[in-house]
Structure 1
């Protein structure tokens, strides 16, 4: 029987690319969307899930298990972007961001773990971000949520390994997806001390996404992890310099690395 793959955030972007790629490889794929009725021409079934709602997560997992009999692989992909000076981002937006990017993925893992433990097998792939390895200016909240999910992955990997369950993370760099359109942008406030530097950085970030890599690279990377009998805990996928920036953070003095980032963002 084909393995069953459950992808959160499967209606667009990386999630959709991964799902379509895995279908071509013969897997049985289920995706999630907050509004599946508004998604047209999906090549795999979409289940209604709001990752901020634990009950909707549990219901979706139960539906897939009842229909397919198992969930072999969870691709924990649902997430949103957020930008802005930390001083000016409303607290409600910060809280919502962590609900989607951190607490939601945790609840999805908690919902699927009992089934995987019953099966004595399972693979969970958490989609994080290269931004989670460093605090980026005007992306600090996003960096924090993705960095936290990296550490959750490390801890949970050790907690469930004895049950036959493997957990890993894949940190993408900039990919050409619609994440910028769905991202919360704190407004550039006229007269704010951040008006010029934040405005310039915002344009730079949108350019990076628009000229990003093909999401197919992420699909290929996830497929390779699924085929690996002993995957690593962390993977990075993206342009060479984006991945190399993580190495530089480990080896460079803090102030020098900070200066490098500020020069990159023209601050």
Structure 2
């Protein structure tokens, strides 16, 4: 299970994303980017972060460390911003925290070079989890100490918003046309050969075991949280074997020209 800490101070909202995450301090003296159960898609966004973050880490990709953060709604009483105050008041209980990478900078395709191997591993991973939110417009990549770090996986695994259609949705191709790393010639075949064999039923059971029960309870159509955990694992297991054959739009050159034109 993820380590649990308690929020002791709300520092500031981070307004780059639509879900209004916030920077908080916790009782372990750490600083975290906190995502709230009361925002946007609620707990499903946090589940996606746990599954994708845990899976990425086990596949050797760099992602910030995750914790669960206990929040007392009283923390929001002194907030002058009514939107932030409402978010804190509606998110009492267990929320999600990501390690704050101090002084990290946003990825810029014109300033940072990425090898075809690393680009391939990231694009393959995004295809696996069907990440629709790592485009050149919004890379959700940070550069920290010279390395690429993956952030913000709330908009992944869209099938968990419609479980009856999960298997059919998971079988669909992945469109990488606007992917932030498309211009770098991602070596998808090598990534698949390296990473797909690692995505086993046992690995996925380990990853999904990190999802807090309270974020899974009450999901329509599932009698137990363990049944729902297996439902999260099955599409990923099926997808890992062949998704590299269904990645579309990786000629790369057009994307770099678009990125230059947007500067």
Q: Would you tell me which structure has more helix in proportion to its own residues?
A: 1
